[in-house]
Amino acid sequence: MRSLQTLLLATDFGPATHSLMLITARLARVFGSRVVPLHVVDVHSDSVLVDYYRRQIGQRLMDPLVAAFAEEAVEVAHPVVLTGSVVDQILRKADEIEADMIILGAGHPDDDGTVSSGPNVEAVMQRAHQPVLVIRPETPLALQKILCPFDGSESSLRGLKNAIRLAQAFQAQLQVLSVVPQVNWLTAATEVGSFSNVHEQYSQQWEESFHAALRKTDFGGLNWSSDVRIGSASQEILAAATTMGADLIVMGATGKSGVTRMLLGSTTRRVLRKLPCSLLVVHDEDALQEEMHADDVKVNQLAYEAAMSLLAEQSYEAALRKFDRVLARNPFHIGALEGKAQACEALGQYERAARCHRRAEILRQEN
Query: Do the beta carbons of residue 278 and residue 133 sit within 8 Å?
Result: yes
Answer yes or no: are the C-beta atoms of 16 and 44 closer than 8 Å: no
Structural domains of the chain in order of their starting residue, each with its CATH number: 6-135 (3.40.50.620), 145-282 (3.40.50.620), 294-366 (1.25.40.10)
Query: Which residues are bridge partners to 145 per DSSP?
Result: 173
The string of pLDDT tens digits covering residues 195-209 is 556 667 767 787 888
* Most confident region among 230-234, 292-296, 332-336, 340-344 by mean pLDDT: 340-344
Cβ atoms 188, 201 nearer than 8 A: yes
pLDDT value for 345? 93
Query: Which segment of 25-29, 124-128, 187-191, 327-331 scores lowest on mean pLDDT?
Result: 187-191
Q: Kindly tell me if the per-residue pLDDT of 45 is higher than 60.
A: no
Quote the DSSP letter at residue 101. Answer: E
Going by C-alpha positions, the residue among 291, 37, 338 that lies closest to residue 168 is 291
DSSP-based helix, strand, coil % in the chain, nearest 5? 50, 15, 35
**DSSP conformational letter for 135:** E
Instruction: Give tens-digit pLDDT for 192-247.
Output: 565 556 667 767 787 888 889 899 898 988 899 999 998 888 899 999 999 999 99
- What's the confidence (pLDDT) of residue 37? 94
Residues 6+ apart with CB under 8 A from 239: 229
Query: Is the per-residue pLDDT at 120 higher than 80?
Result: yes
From CA 339, how far away is CA 2, in angstroms rounded?
A: 23
∠ CA 238-248-222, rounded to 5° = 115
What are the helix (H) ranges across 72-114?
A: 86-96
pLDDT at 327 over 60: yes
Phi, psi torsion values for 109, nearest 5 degrees: -65, 145
User: Which of 78-92, 173-187, 335-349 bottoms out in mean pLDDT, i.e. has the lowest?
Assistant: 173-187
Identify the pLDDT of residue 135: 93
Residue 105: in which H helix or E strand, if any? strand 101-105
* Dist CA 236 CA 149 (whole Å): 10
Separation CA 305–CA 322 (nearest Å):
10
Average pLDDT for the chain: 81
Pair type for strands 248-252 and 278-282: parallel
Residue 366 clears pLDDT 70, i.e. is over it: no
More confident residue, 298 or 127: 127
pLDDT band at 257; cut points 50, 70, 90: very low
* DSSP labels, 181-216: ----HHHHHHHHT-SSSHHHHHHHHHHHHHHHHHHT
Q: What average pLDDT does this structure show over 16-36? A: 89
| Stretch 280-309: mean pLDDT | 71
Cβ atoms of residues 288 and 2 within 8 Å = yes
Least confident segment among 20-24, 174-178, 351-355: 351-355
Range of lowest pLDDT (121-130, 134-143, 263-272): 263-272
DSSP 144-164: -EEEEE--SSHHHHHHHHHHH
- The share of the chain scoring above pLDDT 90, in percent, equals 27
CB 329 within 8 A of CB 292: yes
